[in-house]
Amino acid sequence: MRKPTGIESLYIDFDAFFANAEKLLVPALRDRPVGVVPLPSEHTSLIACCYQSRLSGVKRGMSVAEARSACPDIALVLARHDEYVRLHHRILEEINRHLPVRRVWSIDEMECDLLGSEQQRGLQIARQVRDGLAENIGPLLTPSIGLGPNQFLAKVAAEMEKPAGLTLLHPETLPEQILHLPLTDLPGISSRMLARLHVAGITSMAGLWATSPKQARHIWRSVEGERLWLQLHGYAVSRPETVRRMFGHGRVLARGWQTPSKARECLRLLTAKAAQRLRREGYTASAADISLKTSDGTYWSGTQSFAPSRDDRTFLQAASILFDLGAEKLKGARFQNIYVMLHGLRRPGETSGDLFEHGASHTDRQRWERITDTMDSLNTRYGGGIISLGIRTELPGGYAGAKIAFGRVPDLKDFDAPARPHTKRVPHPES
């Protein structure tokens, strides 16, 4: 396995991306502590907060009430995922002016390769990227940039001096340059994995560095431990390409949406969104799963199979059948979480047909596929959501099926409505 002797990766990790994006987009927020919430409610939690608010003790995941108590002056704004995605694409254009983006890891993290003479000019290129972003995107949206012999160490470097950091980890300075870091600063070491390491007698970065690849594999109980050890030691580790296995969407239901009738509406919308993405990427699915979780923590899930399909009616019927089963099992409960997954994916050309599907069913499915294609065409031409099967209800917080998740940046086509023209504040209960 190859072990680079120089710097081959540049990793960009934006600081407090959602909150700083709001500061960039709304001048009135630039000098304010800002928190971002998913719902216009006093009963939700922060999904992001700026560094200014963190100085007052505000943290991501904190409830609205806790955030107001810690920082009375905080401006709580409703997340605008469509605006963040548009900003993300502008950022990629700017970075590509200086260095090709090799891989986008999330809405606010991306990686570039350093090739040939670029490896000697890594810090210079990083400064050019940083200055270009400040000039052409805005100085409030600061990146932390890390350079290292591989993507893993470049990401670690990007996290070392946040916010607005610029850190280089060279093979010749390892492990000394990282020995002070806690183990949880390494990607792949969660609190649960930290407990396993402690059981194995490894409590520091020095201890992890001194272990062997074989021991790391044993602690992780998988090849991932060996991969982490190799990356930590600066090796260039290649990973197999991931294969798309499902399309799914989930939602934490607002208080007014926890009844069976409202939860069903949410499920229909999430199912239609997952189906839309499936068709856009050219797949069919032959099974649907839904999962329901109630406010008392009870969990139910079920699966429905069908002939390989890509039309909304098939998926919505399957989701409805499953929801009826789940609602019967959980009778009287209030639903807190709902999730739908379409799987059993194939390309249309890979589908040989269902031997047990009679001619009328096949003809009916083809007709619904044509109807669905027409609906997709109209929605693309005139705006998402103009036509649908059944009534489409806007969910609290919006962005059904189009919220940003780690590792997934929604397509702009996932957003039904035009961009929100301004930032919506979460009203204070006393105002």
Domains of the chain: 7-172 (3.30.70.270), 174-240 (1.10.150.20), 246-411 (3.30.1490.100)
pLDDT tens digits along 87-125: 999 999 999 999 999 999 999 999 999 999 999 999 999
pLDDT tens digits, residue range 73-94? 999 999 999 999 999 999 999 9
pLDDT at 399 over 60: no
Lowest mean pLDDT: which of 44-58, 338-352, 375-389, 391-405? Answer: 391-405
d(CA 346, CA 362): 17
Show Cβ contacts of residue 203 under 8 Å, excluding neighbours closer than 6 positions. 183, 197
101-106/75-78 β-pairing: unpaired
Is this structure's pTM higher than 0.85? no
Residue 200 reports pLDDT greater than 90 = yes
Q: Which residues of 134-147 are buried (b: 16+ CB within 10 A; e: fewer)?
A: beebbebbbbbbbb
**For the packed helices 17-25 and 81-98, what is the interaxial angle rounded to 10 degrees?**
90
| Average pLDDT score, the chain | 89
Q: Are 148 and 235 in contact (CB under 8 A)?
A: no
Dihedral sign, CA of 422, 423, 429, 431? negative
Residue 350's pLDDT is 74
Say which residues have a Cβ less than 8 Å from residue 268's Cβ, sequence separation at least 6: 316, 319, 320, 390
Q: Is the pLDDT of residue 351 over 70?
A: no
Quote the tokens at residue 345: 């994916």
What is the predicted pLDDT for the residue at 404?
Answer: 60
Token pair 């607005």: residue: 164
More confident residue, 240 or 68: 68
Q: In terms of Cα–Cα distance, which of 141, 48, 40, 27 is closest to 91?
A: 141
Q: Which residues lie closer than 8 Å to 69 by C-beta, 6 or more apart?
A: none
**52 pLDDT band (50/70/90 cuts)?**
very high
pLDDT of residue 384: 63
Query: At 36, phi and psi to the nearest 5?
Result: -115, 135
Over 80: is that where the pLDDT of 232 sits? Answer: yes
Cα–Cα distances in angstroms (integers) from residue 342 to residues 225, 252, 320, 399, in the given order = 31, 19, 14, 19
Q: Quickly list DSSP for 342-375.
A: EES-B-GGG----TT--HHHHHHHHHHHHHHHHH
Alpha carbons 332 and 316: distance in angstroms, whole number: 23
pLDDT exceeds 80 at position 405:
no
Is 232 in contact with 186 (CB distance < 8 Å)?
yes
By the 10 Å C-beta count (0-12 exposed, 13-18 middle, 19+ buried), 132 is classed as middle
What is 218-243 written as a DSSP string? HHHTSHHHHHHHHHHTT-----PPP-
Structure tokens at 92: 């990629």
Edge-to-edge strands of the sheet including 101-106? 101-106, 109-113, 9-14, 143-148, 166-168
CA distance 144 to 168: 11
Provide mean pLDDT across the span 251-261. 89
Q: What pLDDT band is residue 184 in, cutting at 50, 70 and 90?
A: very high
CA angle 33, 38, 42 (to 5 degrees): 75
- Per-residue pLDDT, averaged over 343-359, amounts to 71
